[in-house]
Structure 1
Amino acid sequence: MKLPVHLLKRTCLLCSGFWFLCLHVNGNSLTPPLNQIFNSLKQIEDSAVQASMLRGTLAGLSGKRDLSPPGSWKALRGKLARSKDPEVVKLADQLSQIFGDLSVSEDALKLVLNGEANLDERKGALGGLVAMRFEELPQNLKLLLGTDLQVDAIRAYSYFDYSEAPKELILEYEKFDTVAKRATIDTLASQKSYARALLEALRTEKIAKEEIPNYTARNLQKILGGSFDKVYGKILEMGELSEISKNPVKPVPHGFADARRIEVGVLPGLKFNTARMEAKAGERIVFVFPNDDSSGMMHNLAIITPGSSQTVMDAAVAMGAAGLKKNFIPEIPELLASTPQVAQGMKYTLYFLVPEESGDYQFICTYPGHGLIMQGIFAVE
């Protein structure tokens, strides 16, 4: 069947959501919903709908491995393997991995490690191996730490309890750029065994305290308790909210007393009052962000890594209703620092340590829809 474009888009969205829900509601009784999905897929010829349904199924099965395939899978697998859409073939291969087809997993690992292969295909293969928790993957991740899959590999460690992970990541840490460093910190804070190694790296100053974002520090405090406090000390909020006409009253963080101040305001029509800011690598900056937008809308000022605006905006939107409580500030490595959402008539003073790597970083408002035009360049030299 061939659906009109408007119905196709709606069907794709409904398929993904329904199959994800269906699998989770049925818990461990996966055979009935899987047979329902696969029997439906047999009747569909449109590759876009096939891909959407396969993605939803993979999302519902994420983290499961060596499942017994339902009876309807064999025939469907043959059909999907003949598809002219490479995306459908790739997604079918990922499902085969979850159903215990080791030959597919081994081929996927070879693809991941092949530096001459297409990067997007390698990323897809790596995602599939992570989704089915392929046991041979962790011991190979260190081979990717110096490649274009660096950040993907760092994040992949967080899905495994792999004893060598902290050592491999900390050994390479100084060579990483800002995003890779933040991804490493997030990964090491993802589970207790890794967090202990991160704490030791902080104690021995292999990783600087200033490189730990506050959301990660609070998570480490929950995981490690008093042992974290002894090494890290008190978690200081790197900013303060006040009325526009008033100055901050809390103590200035260490090293920021004589830091340069940069004021960034808001203009009507979803605009900052500047399109470019400049700083030196390693400099301490005090950003003053008054929201004097006459429209009454809330805004924030976030500092993000070069070229990551779409990633950050997508992550903010993906927060959904929970984003309101978290100021639509996603906790991802690409977002380096941010004010909260600031109401009209208020201002936020943000203390920021500029990364050591030069480049055209960006500043953006992460409130959904604002960042499309409300952004600028933060040039670091």
Structure 2
Amino acid sequence: MKYILSFIAITLFFSGCGDSSTEHAHADEAGAIDVMLPENPVSVVDGVTVVEMTGNDRMKFNLESFVVPAGGQVRLTFHNRGKMPKAAMGHNVVFLSADADSGVFATAAAAARDHDYIPVGFDDQIVAHTKLLGPGESDTIEFTVPMQAGDYEYLCSFPAHMFAGMRGVMKVE
């Protein structure tokens, strides 16, 4: 019994040690290598803020915040690193206006399955958004950052994901 408890304790210890904010290439069970992401997922190339963002089955983004200049350009590539099917664990990134209520938006999004969880009638609250992605899929969007400085929340609009922590802030300066 002592050996079984030791094995469980060691297993739990090592299963909790692998979570880091830096993304690296990983091999899945089939041996395929995931997309390699840069060590710093935010860079500026020719005046464009380039963002490499990921989401996963734990309902987490790899970025909690990043800074962009007012009126600048953003090129965001979003990768769904999860393994669960899109119908159960799809992910997207939705950038909301500074005055949007993210809770109200997410609640409305949960009822918008036929529109990939982008609620109809909220266009004036959306700065930009990616497609809803299944496991292993990616989408790249480009958009102009609002001129008004402030905090612009981004979230995954799949039901309950924002409330589980899949959100962050784009700080416009």
- Paired residues of 1:312 and 1:335 also in contact (CA < 8 A): no
Secondary structure of the corresponding residue to residue 106 of structure 2:
helix
Look up the equivalent residue of 2:172 and give its one-letter code. Answer: V
Which residue is 2:60 aligned to?
271
Question: Which of residues 239, 259, 283 is equivalent to 2:72?
Answer: 283
Which residue is 1:370 aligned to?
161
Look up the equivalent residue of 1:366 and give its one-letter code. Answer: S
Question: Which of residues 312, 315, 338 is equivalent to 2:108?
Answer: 315
- Paired residues of 1:300 and 1:338 also in contact (CA < 8 A): yes
Which residue is 1:139 aligned to?
none
Secondary structure of the corresponding residue to residue 310 of structure 1:
helix
**Change over 3 Å in CA distance of 1:354–1:334 after alignment to 2:** same
**For 1:361 and 1:353, how far apart are their aligned partners in 2?**
13
Secondary structure of the corresponding residue to residue 263 of structure 1:
strand
Question: Which of residues 90, 102, 113 is equivalent to 1:324?
Answer: 113
- Paired residues of 2:60 and 2:166 also in contact (CA < 8 A): yes
Paired residues, what number? 124
Q: TM-score, normalised by structure 1?
A: 0.31
Deviation per residue, 1:230-251 (Å, 9 max, x gap): xxxxxxxxxxxxxx86xxxxxx
The Cα of 1:259 is off from its aligned counterpart by 2.4
Which residue is 2:14 aligned to?
none
Higher relative contact order (CA 8 A, sep 6+): 2
**For 2:167 and 2:95, how far apart are their aligned partners in 1?**
10
**For 1:284 and 1:330, how far apart are their aligned partners in 2?**
25
- Paired residues of 1:329 and 1:340 also in contact (CA < 8 A): no
Deviation per residue, 1:140-168 (Å, 9 max, x gap): xxxxxxxxxxxxxxxxxxxxxxxxxxxxx
Higher strand share: 2
Matched, 1:335 2:103: no
**For 1:274 and 1:326, how far apart are their aligned partners in 2?**
26
Look up the equivalent residue of 1:289 and give its one-letter code. Answer: F
Matched, 1:344 2:96: no
Secondary structure of the corresponding residue to residue 50 of structure 2:
strand
Question: Which of residues 333, 338, 354 is equivalent to 2:145?
Answer: 354
Equivalent residues in 2 for 1:1-381 (5 A)? 259-296=48-85, 297-306=89-98, 308-317=101-110, 320=111, 323-331=112-120, 332=122, 333-372=124-163, 373-381=165-173
Which structure: larger Rg? 1
The Cα of 1:294 is off from its aligned counterpart by 3.4
Aligned CA-pair RMSD:
2.1
Secondary structure of the corresponding residue to residue 107 of structure 2:
helix
Higher helix share: 1
- Which structure 2 segments of 5+ residues have no match? 1-33, 36-44
**For 1:258 and 1:334, how far apart are their aligned partners in 2?**
26
Look up the equivalent residue of 1:309 and give its one-letter code. Answer: S
